[in-house]
Amino acid sequence: MQLPSSVIALLEEANEKLAHEPKLLELFRNCYPNTLETTTSELQDGTTFVITGDIPAMWLRDSVAQVRHYLPLAAEDKELQGIIEGLVERQIRYIHIDPYANAFNVEPNSNRYDEDLTELTPWIWERKYEIDSLCYPIQLAYLYWKATGRKEVFTDQFREAAGIIMKLWKVEQRHFEQSPYRFARENCPPSDTLRNNRMGMPVNYTGMTWSAFRPSDDACTFGYLIPSNMFAVVVLRYIEEIANDVWKDEALAALAEELREEIDFGIQNYGTVLHPKYGRIYAYETDGFGNYNLMDDANVPSLLSIPYLGYTDANDPIYRNTRQFLLSTDNPYYYIGEYARGIGSPHTPKGFIWHISLAMQALTSEDDAEMKELLETFKRTDADTGYMHEGFHPDDPARYTRPWFAWANSLFAELIHKLMLKGYFN
Positive or negative torsion for Cα 279, 292, 263, 61 = positive
- Whether 389 has a pLDDT exceeding 90, the answer reads yes
**Cα–Cα dist 376/371, whole Å:** 9
At 414, the pLDDT band (50, 70, 90 cuts) reads: very high
Domains of the chain: 5-421 (1.50.10.10)
Q: How far is residue 290's CA from residue 238's CA, in Å, rounded to a whole number?
A: 31
Q: Residue 263, exposed/middle/buried by CB under 10 A (0-12, 13-18, 19+)?
A: buried
| 352 in Cβ contact with 344 (< 8 Å) | yes
pLDDT the model gives residue 346: 97
* pLDDT tens profile 271-290: 999 999 999 999 999 999 99
Q: What percent of the chain has pLDDT over 70?
A: 100
Query: Over the stretch 73-106, which tens digit does the pLDDT of each residue have?
Result: 999 999 999 999 999 999 999 999 999 999 999 9
pLDDT at 42 over 90: yes
| Model confidence pLDDT, tens digit, residues 195-247 | 999 999 999 999 999 999 999 999 999 999 999 999 999 999 999 999 999 99
CA 262, CA 304: separation in Å to the nearest integer? 23
- Average pLDDT for 405-411: 97
Q: Cα 404 to chain center, whole Å?
A: 17
| DSSP secondary structure code for residue 3 in this structure | P
Q: What is the mean pLDDT of residues 23-51?
A: 98
219 CB-contact burial (10 Å; exposed 0-12 / middle 13-18 / buried 19+): buried
Average pLDDT over residues 25-35: 98
Q: What is the mean pLDDT of residues 307-319?
A: 97
Q: Do the strands 292-293 and 224-225 form a parallel or antiparallel pair, or are they unpaired?
A: unpaired
Instruction: Tell me the pLDDT band of 402, cut-offs 50, 70 and 90.
Output: very high
**CA–CA separation, 76 and 268 (whole Å):** 41
pLDDT of amino acid 127: 98
- Nearest CA to 34 among 407, 426, 422, 423? 407
What average pLDDT does this structure show over 12-36? Answer: 98
pLDDT at residue 23 tops 90: yes
For the chain, percent of residues with pLDDT exceeding 90: 99
pLDDT at residue 354 above 90? yes
Paired with 250 in beta bridges are: none
**Cis (ω within 30 of 0) for the bond into 72?**
no
Nearest-5° angle of CA 31, CA 37, CA 40? Answer: 110
Q: Are 267 and 226 in contact (CB under 8 A)?
A: yes
- Identify the CA nearest to 228 among candidates 284, 183, 176: 284
Could you tell me the pLDDT band of residue 334, with boundaries at 50, 70 and 90?
very high
Per-residue pLDDT band at 1 (split at 50, 70, 90): confident
Q: What is the pLDDT of residues 148-160, one digit of tens each?
A: 999 999 999 999 9
Report the chain's mean pLDDT, rounded to a whole number: 98
